[in-house]
């Protein structure tokens, strides 16, 4: 087969950027594809060429097979890399690429088909002698049959979408009474996320670990595995932090799991990168599924093996042999990957959208950041809200873990709610530090991030820094006005604090978001960007330096302050202080009481309305279900009370912020 000269990446975000980086290193030209929502996205900026696919919705752009293939043909690309998600495990896409005379950087379509259905692949693995979790993966799908099997297996059971991925369409059921709702909800989610309502039911293995093996095959019949990754740290069956190797792994078990994984790959004549996922309970492991693509968490394997898996994919796709044999591979050190998302862990991991007005990553040795987003970019409602993957490599687990914690604390974000504090909290939690986590651990902690929030109460230094930032901005703004004015040398536009009357006295009014206390910092300007500040009862000497640093009472500090709208975030070693800038003369700044409306937290579709107008409900009771960003979100009663009015109906598409239910607390 011919070498690849130009590669189209049928994906977006961090994975598109990551694939491009290797392609570029190999001298391969890159073509990006994009939707209208992504026209200025990082992956588009990085590519040699870029082609528009369609509107923002994935179904009209990234999932349009014909458009992707047309883009490859029109740019003269000879191969297509699917990334993960989107069309990566779509056998029809692989076929269409081949029919167009192009190379698919992935396994043969038949291998995707064989592994695409969790239920069919289980039958196949059963034949290949790979151990399975007890369960039902048959074709009868009526609620009655599924309920009977579930009862036969014995609670707790796991209801899973056969076509599932990313933990969607999956429900743990602990008692018979919850079965019907779970089956119906999972069917709906499976249908809307994967276009296939088929379910399977498994024994739920409580306290198991998720350990998966990276495998690789080539077209010459060679297979290797690249050891395991432990992805037990999950929330709602979605991976949060992954690591390699798996803690506590013995050589014997590693070999057994590696062999089982290679057998699974061989059973479907696998070619390229794949991952065989197992649940590990004690020393027993059970196959759960094979992912026929590059995984999100592949960087931890790259870190400990020193291999570039995308390079391997491109070599194999051009007909080459695997670059190494099993015996050439070994593990060096330990690696972690944390998935940074725009989401609110305290609100059921509700995805967040908006602009990342401030985004700074750690820039230290041993840290790798894979991202598709830069400061000023936004997270749209159309796709997975991942911001970045923070990957670290250390000499051993302890070393890697402290690098991870340092990298997370040095990540500064403002403008949007993220799971950053949550990641840092989890990675510092004793259970995780001691590697005692199982797949259900996080979900048993409620609410998950309480106590991990790193917003700290106002202290004098942070207040002084915030005030200096505001004063400095006012100066810059005045300078800009002066430059635009007819007389740039007019004393009215002097920016060094000089004022005719009172030598540049300025007041900065701030409110600490923790206790909403109004705080005043008074500044008197002296020469050279120096200020005498009065912060509460204290006097503080402050100076703003040209490089963005400040000197506070003689101590020079590198500071990072984000100012978005009326919100100021001052980052420090232990977290951040957040202040609201306000004008005491402006009474309209007072919050308006929004009454008892329950509004849509994001644009989406109302799939279920559980109550009628006039219904009396208990706190926490589900009122309706909204489907947005491919997930179901339950809108629950905030207190005991009455639903006085319903403002939506099932099937309705709703905008962000519109009232759905008018609610009156008892």
Quick check: 204 binds ligand ADP (CB under 6 A)?
A: yes
Rounded to whole angstroms, the Cα distance separating 279 from 664 reads: 46
Nearer to ligand ADP, 234 or 642 (CB): 234
User: CB of 22: closest distance to ligand ADP in angstroms?
Assistant: 25
Q: Residues 174, 179, 185, 187: what is their CA dihedral angle, to the nearest 10 degrees?
A: 110
Nearer to ligand ADP, 247 or 320 (CB): 247
Rounded to whole angstroms, the Cα distance separating 366 from 389 reads: 14
Nearer to ligand ADP, 84 or 312 (CB): 84
User: CB of 160: closest distance to ligand ADP in angstroms?
Assistant: 6
Among 91, 146, 208, 280, binds ligand ADP (CB under 6 A): 208
- DSSP strand E in 411-529: where? 412-414, 505-512, 518-526
Nearer to ligand ADP, 97 or 268 (CB): 268
Cβ neighbours, 10 Å, residue 406: 16
- Which segment (144-152, 159-167, 528-536, 553-561) binds ligand ADP by CB under 6 A? 159-167
Specify whether the CB–CB gap between 637 and 620 falls below 8 A.
Answer: yes
Restricting to residues 366-395, name those near ligand ADP by CB under 6 A.
none
Nearer to ligand ADP, 378 or 431 (CB): 431
Rounded to whole angstroms, the Cα distance separating 565 from 546 reads: 24
Quick check: 171 binds ligand ADP (CB under 6 A)?
A: no
Task: Decide: helix, strand or coil at residue 73.
Answer: helix
List b or e across 68-88, with b for residues whose CB sees 16 or more CB atoms inside 10 angstroms: bbebbeebebbbbbbbbbbbb
Nearer to ligand ADP, 223 or 441 (CB): 441
User: CB of 12: closest distance to ligand ADP in angstroms?
Assistant: 20
Rounded to whole angstroms, the Cα distance separating 426 from 239 reads: 13
Nearer to ligand ADP, 237 or 412 (CB): 237
Among 14, 89, 202, 421, binds ligand ADP (CB under 6 A): 202
Cβ neighbours, 10 Å, residue 428: 16
User: CB of 222: closest distance to ligand ADP in angstroms?
Assistant: 26
Specify whether the CB–CB gap between 590 and 580 falls below 8 A.
Answer: no
Restricting to residues 253-292, name those near ligand ADP by CB under 6 A.
277, 279, 288-289
Rounded to whole angstroms, the Cα distance separating 13 from 85 reads: 11
Restricting to residues 437-476, name those near ligand ADP by CB under 6 A.
439
Among 166, 185, 258, 394, binds ligand ADP (CB under 6 A): 166
Find the catalytic residue in 293, 339, 511, 576: 293
Nearer to ligand ADP, 202 or 302 (CB): 202
User: CB of 107: closest distance to ligand ADP in angstroms?
Assistant: 17
Task: Kindly determine how many residues on this chain lie close enough to bind ligand ADP according to the rule CB under 6 A.
Answer: 20
* φ/ψ of residue 663, rounded to 5: -125, 140
In what side-by-side order are the strands of the sheet with 538-544? 555-557, 550-552, 538-544, 530-535, 518-526, 505-512, 575-581, 567-572, 560-564
- Which segment (94-102, 192-200, 204-212, 546-554) binds ligand ADP by CB under 6 A? 204-212
Nearer to ligand ADP, 62 or 204 (CB): 204
Among 82, 165, 497, 542, binds ligand ADP (CB under 6 A): 165
Specify whether the CB–CB gap between 371 and 388 falls below 8 A.
Answer: yes
Instruction: Give residue number: closest CB to ligand ADP.
Output: 439
Among 198, 210, 293, 633, binds ligand ADP (CB under 6 A): 210
Question: What is the DSSP code (8-state) at residue 178?
Answer: G
Quick check: 190 binds ligand ADP (CB under 6 A)?
A: no
Quick check: 205 binds ligand ADP (CB under 6 A)?
A: yes
How far CA 410 is from CA of 6, 128, 352, 503, 591, in Å, comes to 37, 47, 21, 38, 33
Nearer to ligand ADP, 288 or 562 (CB): 288
User: CB of 188: closest distance to ligand ADP in angstroms?
Assistant: 16
User: CB of 47: closest distance to ligand ADP in angstroms?
Assistant: 29
Q: Is 282 exposed, middle or buried (0-12, 13-18, 19+ CB in 10 A)?
A: exposed
Restricting to residues 125-144, name those near ligand ADP by CB under 6 A.
133
Task: Decide: helix, strand or coil at residue 426.
Answer: helix
Rounded to whole angstroms, the Cα distance separating 615 from 618 reads: 10
Contact flags string 211-230 toward ligand ADP, x per CB under 6 A:
--------------------
Specify whether the CB–CB gap between 569 and 577 falls below 8 A.
Answer: yes
User: CB of 170: closest distance to ligand ADP in angstroms?
Assistant: 6
HSE value, Cβ hemisphere, 13 Å, CA-based, for 592 = 3
Please enumerate, as own/partner, the contacts of 65-71 that have beta carbons within 8 Å and a separation of 24 or more: 65/90, 65/92, 65/93, 65/96, 66/96, 67/33, 68/8, 68/10, 68/33, 68/93, 69/96, 69/97, 69/100, 69/102, 71/8, 71/31, 71/33
Quick check: 173 binds ligand ADP (CB under 6 A)?
A: no
24 catalytic? Reply is: no
Active-site residues, by number, are 293
What is the binding site for ligand ADP (CB under 6 A)? 133, 158, 164-167, 170, 202-205, 208, 210, 234, 237, 277, 279, 288-289, 439
């Amino acid at each position: 087969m011919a070498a690849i000269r130009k590669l189209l990446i049928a994906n977006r975000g961090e994975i598109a950027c990551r694939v491009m980086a290797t392609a570029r290193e190999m001298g391969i030209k890159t073509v990006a594809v994009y939707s209208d929502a992504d026209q200025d996205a990082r992956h588009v900026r990085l590519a040699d060429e870029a082609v528009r696919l369609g509107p923002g919705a994935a179904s009209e752009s990234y999932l349009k097979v014909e458009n992707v293939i047309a883009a490859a043909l029109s740019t003269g690309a000879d191969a297509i890399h699917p990334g993960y998600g989107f069309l990566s495990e779509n056998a029809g896409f692989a076929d269409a690429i081949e029919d167009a005379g192009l190379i698919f950087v992935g396994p043969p379509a038949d291998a995707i088909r064989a592994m695409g259905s969790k239920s069919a692949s289980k039958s196949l693995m059963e034949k290949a002698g790979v151990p399975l979790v007890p369960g039902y993966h048959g074709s009868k799908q009526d609620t009655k049959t599924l309920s009977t099997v579930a009862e036969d297996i014995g609670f707790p059971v796991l209801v899973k979408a056969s076509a599932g991925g990313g933990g969607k369409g999956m429900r743990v059921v602990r008692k018979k009474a919850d079965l019907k709702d779970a089956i119906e909800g999972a069917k709906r989610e499976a249908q809307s996320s994967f276009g296939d309502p088929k379910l399977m039911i498994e024994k739920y293995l409580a306290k198991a670990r998720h350990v998966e093996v990276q495998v690789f095959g080539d077209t010459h019949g060679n297979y290797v595995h690249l050891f395991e990754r432990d992805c037990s740290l999950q929330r709602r069956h979605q991976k949060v932090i992954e690591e390699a190797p798996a803690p506590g792994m013995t050589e014997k078990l590693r070999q057994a799991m590696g062999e089982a994984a290679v057998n699974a790959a061989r059973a479907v004549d696998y070619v390229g990168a794949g991952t065989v996922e197992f649940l590990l309970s004690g020393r027993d492991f059970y196959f759960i599924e094979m992912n026929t693509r590059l995984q999100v968490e592949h960087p931890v394997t790259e870190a400990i093996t020193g291999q570039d898996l995308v390079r391997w994919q491109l070599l194999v796709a051009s007909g080459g042999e695997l670059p190494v044999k099993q015996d050439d591979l070994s593990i060096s050190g330990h690696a972690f990957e944390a998935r940074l998302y725009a989401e609110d862990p305290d609100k059921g991991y509700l995805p967040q959208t908006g602009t990342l007005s401030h985004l700074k990553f750690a820039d230290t040795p041993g840290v790798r950041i894979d991202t598709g987003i830069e400061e000023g970019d936004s997270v749209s409602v159309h796709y997975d809200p991942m911001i970045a993957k923070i990957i670290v490599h250390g000499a051993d687990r302890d070393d890697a873990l402290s690098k991870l914690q340092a990298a997370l604390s040095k990540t500064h974000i403002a403008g949007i709610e993220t799971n950053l504090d949550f990641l840092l909290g989890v990675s510092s939690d004793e259970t995780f530090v001691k590697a005692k986590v199982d797949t259900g651990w996080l979900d048993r902690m409620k609410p998950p991030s309480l106590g991990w929030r790193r917003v700290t109460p106002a202290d004098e230094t942070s207040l002084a820094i915030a005030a200096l930032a505001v004063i400095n901005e006012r100066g810059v703004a005045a300078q800009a006005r002066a430059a635009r004015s007819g007389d740039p040398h007019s004393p009215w536009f002097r920016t060094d604090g000089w004022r005719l009357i009172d030598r540049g006295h300025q007041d900065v009014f701030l409110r600490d978001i923790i206790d909403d206390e109004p705080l005043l910092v008074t500044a008197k300007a002296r020469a050279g960007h120096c200020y005498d500040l009065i912060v509460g009862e204290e006097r503080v000497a402050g100076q703003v330096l040209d490089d963005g640093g400040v000197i506070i009472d003689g101590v020079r500090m590198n500071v990072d302050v984000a100012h978005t709208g009326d919100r100021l975030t001052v980052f420090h070693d232990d977290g951040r202080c957040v202040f609201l800038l306000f004008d005491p003369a402006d009474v309209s700044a007072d919050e308006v009481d929004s009454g008892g409306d329950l509004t849509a937290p994001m644009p989406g579709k109302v799939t279920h309305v559980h109550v009628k107008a006039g219904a009396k409900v208990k706190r926490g009771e589900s009122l309706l279900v909204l489907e947005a960003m491919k997930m179901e979100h339950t809108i629950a009663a905030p207190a005991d009370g009455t639903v006085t009015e319903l403002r939506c109906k099932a099937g309705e598409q709703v905008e962000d912020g519109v009232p759905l239910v008018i609610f009156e607390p008892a």
